[in-house]
Structure 1
Amino acid sequence: MATHLVFLTICIFIDLSSQCSITGYPFENHLSSETPYRLVSNKSFYRIQYDGCTPKKIWMVIRHGTRNPSISKIEQINNRLPDIRDFILENDNLPNGFIKNRDLDLFQKWEPTLNAESKKKLTREGREEMLLLAERMQSKFPELFDNIYSNTSFKFKYTHTQRTKKSALYFVTGLFGKNNAKSVWFPEPLKNDPILRFYKSCTKWYKEVKDDPKLKRINKAFEQSAEMLKTLKVINERLNFSRVSSNLSADDVFLMYKTCAYETAWNKQSKSPWCSPFTEEELKVLEYAEDLELYWQDGYGHELTYKQACPAFSDMINMLISNETYPKVTAYFTHSGTILKMLAHLGLYKDSENLTATNYGKMANRKWRTSFIDSFGSNLAFISFKCNKNNKILTLHQEKVVRLPSCPNSDLCDIKEVISYYSESIEHCDLTSMCAI
């Protein structure tokens, strides 16, 4: 079957890090899960079409848009970064080859702006991410995303958080307009939603994965690796901290890195001064530390982690194969942990070996790059197509086509092949027994 994708940016994520690059400052390539969606999204508004095929339904899971940090991170930014800023500004050895006068000007103007009340709230950038995502999806699939709201045609749901609720509200505003969005119905959010946040009720996962001391040991081992020790050394030398007893610690450097990421996400037009101390190579090391942690916490590190995503996967399959015409659109607003576990459940971005504290050098071209696969606003979409007498599924990640392992040579995958390939997930999805201690 001849296929035509009428949009310009096509990226099949086999080796994402080598096939898709983010343009702009080098630091924008390596911001891990705090990367703003504008840097990784397919910005095309062109309609997606395949010859002889008609889209029938779509199921989406969407990470909330760009948000503020947690309360603990806000406290660190407010309490520690002003001291580091003051030391930099009082340093007679600056500017140098890395820290320019313009960077010092940015440090001079920089002040912490967040308080406890703003913790994890959706930001202006996050609102825009959701508005534009909705508008583009409507342009890509006008047959599905009607601009007139119907409670029959659309099913929306968000988790028990401000950031997902606001993301959902701005998404529907992008679809229906500000006034019509007020009439959209949302169910009352659940504290531990079994589809949107399945892992919240998985006691075994918390005990054996998230709260397992081994995860902290893996993180600590990389913190003490040659790559990380070199990074700390050169940052201290570059900022002239090495001449005093109070060197920047690993926690300090990670705080600067995280602030660089957040402020890059919040501000399109201006560079964060906290990005200026880093070269791209050092950012790669810090990014790897993030990738390593999320690989073992939310990815391929433990079978239970991604197997428990079966309720969300089954919800998607059941919606797409149902003989019911409606709803045509299901859109769930959730979190990073759900997106990453779903990606691993599908078998996407799987490297030939595990990420470890000792194989940083070998994993330079890894597929598990959270800067690309887990940005703010990350989303997975599954679209069912009727192609003559056959039912097929198209999968999008970040609005770009991805090919499932069940059909590695085709964009559209026969639904029967998808069901056959993931039959274990569909037929043996007993979260109660899976998560029991």
Structure 2
Amino acid sequence: MSPNRPFVPFFVFFLCVCTSFQCPKNEYESHLGTKTAYRTVANYNSSEIKYDGCQAVKLWALIRHGTRNPSLALIQKMRTRLAEIKELILENLPEGTDEISNIDLDLFRSWTPKLRDKDEKKLTHEGEEEMLFLAERLQNRFPKLMTNIYSSTLYKFKYTHSQRTKKSAEAFAAGLFGRGAVRDIEFPEPVKKDPVLRFYKLCEKWTKEVKKNPEAQAEMKKFHSGEEAAKTVKAVNERLGLTDEIDLSDVHAMYMTCAYETAWNKRKRSPWCSALSMDDFKVVEYGEDLKYYWIDGYGHELTYGQACKALNDLVEFFQSNETFPKSTIYFTHSGTLLKMLAHMGLYKQKKHLIADDFHLNGNRTWRVSQIDSFGTNLVFVLFDCQDEPKILTLHQEHIVRLPSCADSDLCTMTQFMDYYDTDSECLFDQMCENST
């Protein structure tokens, strides 16, 4: 069920109507990998979306949880290694330089890691706001599908077995119906290996040959051991008044901490962002893109082929003769969104993303900072049109044109079904070589 036709180029415009704290204040804020704040990619134009002779009748959405806390490993590294590096910086830079200002040094002096082990991966306040405002904008765009009065007949919500998706779903519901109505929402009991929301957890071959296979990270490792990464480590050491006290893993921890603290706080700059130049950000970002390309993207056909589980759910919902529910909204994770984007043929490179092509890929389409930020969402809307049913696709709230119908916003159901070969069975257990 994975698309195997040549990729048809299309254009996506990440246009942001800027007001206070919405758009990036600094260029690096748009280069923070999968931990990029959603506000840097969101579409704030929430006017109702209408097409002549068509009526929106169903909506199906995959939504990544909002901004969260880091993993346990990074929380612990913040408390230990980054705390040590902070002291080295303040010891070696008693006053500001051309690259590290006195304001940055003051931020380092006041920086203290506050997260505890039990806080790992929990949704943050910013993550709740992302979901709440996303719901409000989608409701404005499709008011007949997303009413502000809750009914279990009109809506189907579901989240994975995690605190961050549960809280994201609740915040999203609050955006639609008000906070007081959340307790009345019917959420089904989540399962650890949901066949639609986390299908890859059930794919034995993918787990063995991709997820847990060191060879799947060969391009990222090659890039990390190459000249560009070495130049970055040297440049960061020099910027911080050090010699060779920090290595690439330290630089990566700074980058990730900068990303998280930027996502958490619209108003306050993280001191760790000052440790990297824009060239450094782009180098570390490329390593992140290589990682996710080969684990969750186009690197292996099985990776995106297995997303037929999610696509089948979409098709069955749109083809159902049942009038209700009007909206099916799933809350899930980065791995699901990236595999689904690749399954749909979006953001496909003309050739595989590899370590040696860093300088050739400045304008690459596979850039997780843009396509897989916190709060990433992929929305399909079925329109009942005068000639035949048609599908509208939105990613990060922007209309995107699928390769199956690159000349129009609306893809006819026939074009959609033919291109993605949805008549054939999704042989999930067969492709995954599952033992049971």
With normalisation by structure 2, the TM-score equals: 0.94
Q: Are 1:108 and 2:109 matched, yes or no?
A: yes
The equivalent residue for 1:429 is 426
Identity of aligned residues (%): 52
Q: Summarize the alignment of residues 275-354 of structure 1 with structure 2, pairs less than 5 Å apart.
A: 275-354=273-352
In the aligned structure 2, how far is the partner of 1:352 from the partner of 1:401? Answer: 22
Q: CA deviation at 1:428?
A: 3.1
The equivalent residue for 1:54 is 55
1:382 is paired with a residue whose SS is strand
In the aligned structure 2, how far is the partner of 1:384 from the partner of 1:92? Answer: 59
CA contact (8 A) 1:310 1:426 kept: no
The equivalent residue for 1:68 is 69
The equivalent residue for 2:236 is 235
2:369 to 368, 371, 386: 371
CA contact (8 A) 1:314 1:426 kept: no
Unaligned 5+ runs, structure 1: 1-12
The equivalent residue for 1:394 is 392
Q: Summarize the alignment of residues 155-166 of structure 1 with structure 2, pairs less than 5 Å apart.
A: 155-166=156-167
In the aligned structure 1, how far is the partner of 2:184 from the partner of 2:233? Answer: 53
Deviates more, 1:387-396 or 1:373-382: 387-396
In the aligned structure 2, how far is the partner of 1:181 from the partner of 1:239? Answer: 48
In the aligned structure 2, how far is the partner of 1:277 from the partner of 1:79? Answer: 18
In the aligned structure 2, how far is the partner of 1:36 from the partner of 1:199? Answer: 25
CA contact (8 A) 2:15 2:43 kept: no
Q: Are 1:31 and 2:29 matched, yes or no?
A: no
Unaligned 5+ runs, structure 2: 1-8, 17-22
Q: Summarize the alignment of residues 203-214 of structure 1 with structure 2, pairs less than 5 Å apart.
A: 203-214=204-215
Q: CA deviation at 1:389?
A: 3.6
Letter in 2 for 1:383: V
CA contact (8 A) 1:159 1:193 kept: yes
Letter in 2 for 1:121: K
Q: CA deviation at 1:426?
A: 4.8
2:404 is paired with a residue whose SS is coil
Q: CA deviation at 1:279?
A: 1.3
In the aligned structure 1, how far is the partner of 2:274 from the partner of 2:216? Answer: 30
1:330 is paired with a residue whose SS is strand
The equivalent residue for 2:179 is 178
In the aligned structure 2, how far is the partner of 1:412 from the partner of 1:233? Answer: 50
The equivalent residue for 1:221 is 222
Deviation per CA, 1:73-118: give whole Å up to 9, x if none.
1111111111111111111464211100000010010000101110
Letter in 2 for 1:329: S
Letter in 2 for 1:170: A
2:56 is paired with a residue whose SS is strand
1:427 is paired with a residue whose SS is coil
CA contact (8 A) 1:159 1:196 kept: yes
Letter in 1 for 2:320: S
Q: CA RMSD in A?
A: 1.5
With normalisation by structure 1, the TM-score equals: 0.94
Deviation per CA, 1:211-245: give whole Å up to 9, x if none.
11213432221111111111111111111211xxx
CA contact (8 A) 2:14 2:42 kept: no
The change in CA–CA distance for 1:296 and 1:426 in structure 2 (over 3 A counts) is farther
Letter in 1 for 2:286: Y
In the aligned structure 2, how far is the partner of 1:182 from the partner of 1:406? Answer: 41
Deviation per CA, 1:297-323: give whole Å up to 9, x if none.
000000000000001001001111211
In the aligned structure 2, how far is the partner of 1:19 from the partner of 1:191? Answer: 34
In the aligned structure 2, how far is the partner of 1:316 from the partner of 1:426? Answer: 13
In the aligned structure 2, how far is the partner of 1:44 from the partner of 1:405? Answer: 24
Deviation per CA, 1:35-54: give whole Å up to 9, x if none.
11111100122111111111
Q: CA deviation at 1:19?
A: 6.3
Give the number of aligned pairs. Answer: 421
1:383 is paired with a residue whose SS is strand
The change in CA–CA distance for 1:312 and 1:426 in structure 2 (over 3 A counts) is farther
Letter in 2 for 1:393: I
Q: Are 1:123 and 2:124 matched, yes or no?
A: yes
In the aligned structure 1, how far is the partner of 2:66 from the partner of 2:274? Answer: 25
The equivalent residue for 1:4 is none
1:247 to 245, 248, 252: 245
